[in-house]
Amino acid sequence: MSTATSTTSPPTPPAAPPQVPAGLEATVGRSRPRGGTVRRRRRLVAMLFLLPALALNLLVIGGPGVSSIYYAFTDWNGFTTPKFTGFANAIHLANDADFWNAIGHNFIYMIIFLTVPMIMGLAGAFMLSRIRRGAVFFRVVFFIPYLIASVVNAQIWKNLLDPASGLAAQLDKIGVHFLDNVYFFGDSNLSLYSVAFVDNWHFWGFLVVLFLAAMQGVDASRFEAARIDGANAWQEFWHITLPGIRPTLTFAIMIISLWSLLAFDYSYVLTGGGPAGSSDLVSLLVNRTAFGSLEAGYAAFIALAMSLLGGIFLIIFSIIRRNEDETN
């Protein structure tokens, strides 16, 4: 019995990689920048692009901001040479009834805006999230008041709520008298809440758009699973939507808290802080103290105190955000 001889040739071994001469090996290694070097170069380029804007910001905002810290401890009318007085302005602030009246109104303003527009914004966004047709139209409608200048908004509502020529006068012509002798901006019991109402009309559409964008980022499969389990709309909102947009809620609470400390325009246009200081805010007090009473040094100290309060709020919210990140 004969044995067949295989004619298949053995496999060819892979070609050896080209050898790099020893003298060139170090050169090739140096020609390839490492990841850390590339990151440093990119960071340097970014800083070079940022320098002009940073310099302008320091000149326009940083310089006056730092100088105001010095002026806060002086007796200065805004024109003459400031006279350093130490903590005299702090003592004045602690005993200033106008300041405590104004900051109390700021906190009332904050409570109003942390409840009413937040609830309206969440409700409006949740309803819009369930609409498939015409959602863009409703978003635009809700957002338009926020785009109109605050002075224009304030003047529109000032005319509407004028008891002599506004809505009350028109209702009076058809025999509806429940708004007779109601002075929304002239009654010390209503002025602050009337200003907040107008400001809320302008602001809540912004929250609708903000919350709606956050809700669209929630995983849709969670809602489908909840519907399969028989959850109703309220249960979907409470157990899925709210936890899903918690970072956005924290952000909204933070900006509302800070904006409430800085509120100025609507109160200034609608009431000027009156009547009898019933709608006065700290920003109005600073403006009146600096430009009306020519006590620029004391006004700077009030502004510094409010900045410190805002800084405390920022620290608190930063801790809350960090804890949320660690939990997630």
Asked whether residue 255 carries a pLDDT value surpassing 90, the answer given is yes
Q: Is 83 helix (H, G, I), strand (E, B) or coil?
A: strand
pLDDT of 49-91, one tens digit each? Answer: 889 888 888 888 888 888 899 999 999 998 999 999 999 999 9
Exposed e or buried b for every residue in 37-55, given b needs 16+ CB within 10 A?
A: eeeeeeeeeeeeeeeeeee
* Residue found by looking up tokens 């109005």 in the block: 284
Determine phi and psi for 83, rounding to 5 degrees: -115, 120
Exposed e or buried b for every residue in 128-148, given b needs 16+ CB within 10 A?
A: bbeeeeeeeeebeebeebbee
CATH number at residue 197: 1.10.3720.10
The confidence band for 131, taking pLDDT boundaries of 50, 70 and 90, is confident
265 in a structural domain: yes
Nearest to 194 by CA among 270, 143, 268: 270
Average predicted confidence (pLDDT) for the chain: 86
206: containing domain: 107-279
Q: Is 175 helix (H, G, I), strand (E, B) or coil?
A: coil
67 in a structural domain: no
Evaluate the omega torsion of the peptide bond into residue 275 and state whether it is cis, within 30 degrees of 0: yes
Q: Is 75 helix (H, G, I), strand (E, B) or coil?
A: strand
The confidence band for 26, taking pLDDT boundaries of 50, 70 and 90, is very low
186 C-beta neighbours (distance < 10 Å), count: 16
144 in a structural domain: yes
pLDDT of the residue at 12: 55
Asked whether residue 139 carries a pLDDT value surpassing 90, the answer given is no
188 in a structural domain: yes
The confidence band for 11, taking pLDDT boundaries of 50, 70 and 90, is low
Contact 190, 227 (CB under 8 A): no
Contact 83, 74 (CB under 8 A): yes
- Rounded CA separation 117/260 (Å): 13
127 in a structural domain: yes
Asked whether residue 34 carries a pLDDT value surpassing 80, the answer given is no
Helix (H) or strand (E) holding 84: strand 83-84
- Rounded CA separation 162/83 (Å): 46
Show Cβ contacts of residue 274 under 8 Å, excluding neighbours closer than 6 positions: 191, 280
Q: Is 208 helix (H, G, I), strand (E, B) or coil?
A: helix
150 in a structural domain: yes
pLDDT of the residue at 184: 93
Q: How many domains is the chain built from?
A: 1
User: At how many degrees (to 10) do helices 191-215 and 97-113 cross?
Assistant: 40
pLDDT of the residue at 263: 93
40 in a structural domain: no
pLDDT of the residue at 294: 92
pLDDT of the residue at 4: 41
Average pLDDT over residues 239-261: 91
Percent of the chain with pLDDT over 90: 51
Give the Å distances, CA to CA, from 98 to 34, 219, 267, 269: 62, 50, 16, 20
Question: Looking at 4-13, 27-36, 187-196, which range is the least confident one?
Answer: 4-13
Give the Å distances, CA to CA, from 14 to 11, 17, 20, 256: 9, 9, 18, 69
Tokens of 327: 């939990």
Percent of the chain with pLDDT over 70: 88
Q: Max alpha carbon distance in the chain (Å)?
A: 127
Average pLDDT over residues 204-218: 91
- Rounded CA separation 273/277 (Å): 5
Higher pLDDT: 301 or 20? It is 301
Amino acid letter, residue 110: M
- Rounded CA separation 318/310 (Å): 12
56 in a structural domain: no
pTM score: 0.80
Average pLDDT over residues 148-172: 90
pLDDT of 265-297, one tens digit each? Answer: 999 999 999 999 999 999 999 999 999 999 999
pLDDT of the residue at 279: 94
Asked whether residue 23 carries a pLDDT value surpassing 60, the answer given is no
